[in-house]
Amino acid sequence: MGVKRAFKYRFYPSDAQAAELSRTFGCVRKVYNMALAARTEAWARGERVNYNATSAMLTGWKRTEELAFLNEVSSVPLQQTLRHLQGAFTNFFGKRAKYPRLKTRKRSRKSAEYTTSAFRFRGDRLTLAKMSEPLDIVWSRPLPEGATPSTVTVSQDAAGRWFVSLLCEDASVRPFPATDAVVGVDVGLDHLLTLSTGEKVANPRQERRDRARLAKAQRELSRKAKGDGANRSKARRRVAKVHARIADRRRDHLHKLTTRLVRENQTIVIEDLTVRNMVKNHTLARAISDASWGEFRNMLEYKAAWYGRELIAVDRFFPSSKLCSHCGTLTASMPLHVREWTCESCGTDHDRDVNAARNLKAAGLAASVCGAGVRPQRRTPGGQSATKQKTPRREPQEPPRTRGGRSQSSIVPRR
């Protein structure tokens, strides 16, 4: 049995299809917000509301005159958004996320999920519920042979591009042949990756390549009168297109790097960095965000699980840069501007990044044997936490409230 994979394609809807999907996005957002408000109010009264209760509420909402428009779109995406809300509360109760917040028209992702009862897939023709014509999909790569989508997610990004994601079971994903290769990977800004073999991968700095174009588009946007005017919408979309171009290049580069690392090495050792804390440094925040270390780690995690590789994350407080990889002497301090240094004990000359990668490799190998000094992965392929120590379960706190007693759950920021 293979793994579940999502295959994403771009498509070009007709005017009627675009209008139908836009209505569906709005209805999905409306149902999510109403269900969230109902669950928050019930919680304030000391009651618990689950998915079944919100599903019954949805049936009642459709029968009212002011919400009768919910019957005009497919019911499946509306049910799926209630399941997504249930998942958000499950993560909240499990201390993995903050309290769910309301979806907004401008900031929330526009998407709708269809299950098998709400779409028809024949060959390369995909037809959604409430539509008479199939979607005009650009099949940039073939689906796995004999694969049938279990769910279809339609979305529109800020740049106005339409995408369809098909979740299929891919039987071709099998573990790579075993190898003895082990590599330590140190991430950085001067070089995106430095391997324990001494190889350095240049940092493409995708955002810097389009910085002038992005700045021009943002200046044009700032000149437009605030509101929902057509000119401001066009300027906002031009900014989004530049951002999408940067993100696409960055993602493509990271996919190639991570696939190569997983294919060539049996064990990969990285550092357990807290990127969300590191970007608080306003001097380096832009460069750190452009390097996208978090996405690099996410890709390594699921690809290692797919292809039978081992990924080890070394404790973030491990002094990989200050420790001599030759004799083990620990240097007192190592400022960021020091890129090369000489060990006072053994006289070995070190490149800072190569030395750190070698120390990470050694720590990972030690942890693989005895489990010392290394934090486990943030999560297993199944989504469960891989932490070995059990933490006592705490009851979830009530959502914060304003002075007037109204819930502030909608303004609680996500992680």
Residue 405: the pLDDT is: 41
pLDDT tens figures, 182-192: 999 999 999 99
The answer to whether residue 100 scores a pLDDT higher than 50 is yes
The answer to whether residue 156 scores a pLDDT higher than 50 is yes
Structure tokens at 333: 């301090």
Query: What count of other Cβ atoms lies within 10 Å of the Cβ of residue 397?
Result: 7
Residue 382: the pLDDT is: 42
Sign (positive or negative) of CA dihedral 368, 369, 373, 378:
positive
Residue 387: the pLDDT is: 37
Whole-number Cα distances in Å, 71 to 32, 74, 75, 182: 15, 7, 7, 57
- The full length of the chain comes to 415
Structure tokens at 239: 């900014």
Contact of 322 with 345, CB cutoff 8 Å: no
The answer to whether residue 144 scores a pLDDT higher than 50 is yes
Rounded distance between C-alpha atoms, residue 358 and residue 356, angstroms: 5
pLDDT tens figures, 13-41: 999 999 999 999 999 999 999 999 999 99
Q: Which range has the top average pLDDT, 323-327, 357-361, 396-400?
A: 357-361
| Mean pLDDT score, 379-407 | 40
Report angle CA 14, 15, 21 to the nearest 5 degrees.
85
Residue 1: the pLDDT is: 63
Residue 169: the pLDDT is: 92
Residue 414: the pLDDT is: 36
pLDDT confidence tier of residue 390, bands split at 50, 70 and 90 = very low
pLDDT tens figures, 170-184: 888 899 999 999 999
Q: What is the CATH number of domain 182-203+247-375?
A: 3.30.420
Element (H, E) at 305: helix 293-306
Residue 145: the pLDDT is: 86
Q: Where are the domains of the chain?
A: 3-170, 182-203+247-375
Range with lowest mean pLDDT among 112-116, 124-128, 355-359, 367-371: 367-371
pLDDT tens figures, 307-351: 999 999 998 888 888 889 888 888 888 888 888 888 888 888 888
| Mean pLDDT score, 268-289 | 91
pLDDT confidence tier of residue 389, bands split at 50, 70 and 90 = very low
Contact of 214 with 238, CB cutoff 8 Å: no
The answer to whether residue 409 scores a pLDDT higher than 80 is no
**Which residues have a catalytic role annotated?**
186, 271, 353
pLDDT confidence tier of residue 371, bands split at 50, 70 and 90 = low
| Mean pLDDT score, 278-290 | 91
Element (H, E) at 233: helix 230-264
Structure tokens at 302: 């699921």
Residue 249: the pLDDT is: 96
| Mean pLDDT score, 218-224 | 96
* Chain centre to alpha carbon of residue 209: 23
Residue 38: the pLDDT is: 96
Sign (positive or negative) of CA dihedral 258, 261, 266, 270:
negative
CB half-sphere exposure, 262, CA atoms < 13 A: 25
260 contacts: CB under 8 Å, gap ≥ 6: none
Question: Which of 102, 182, 223 has its CA nearest to residue 360?
Answer: 182
Whole-number Cα distances in Å, 91 to 142, 383, 384, 409: 34, 11, 11, 15
Report angle CA 147, 148, 154 to the nearest 5 degrees.
120
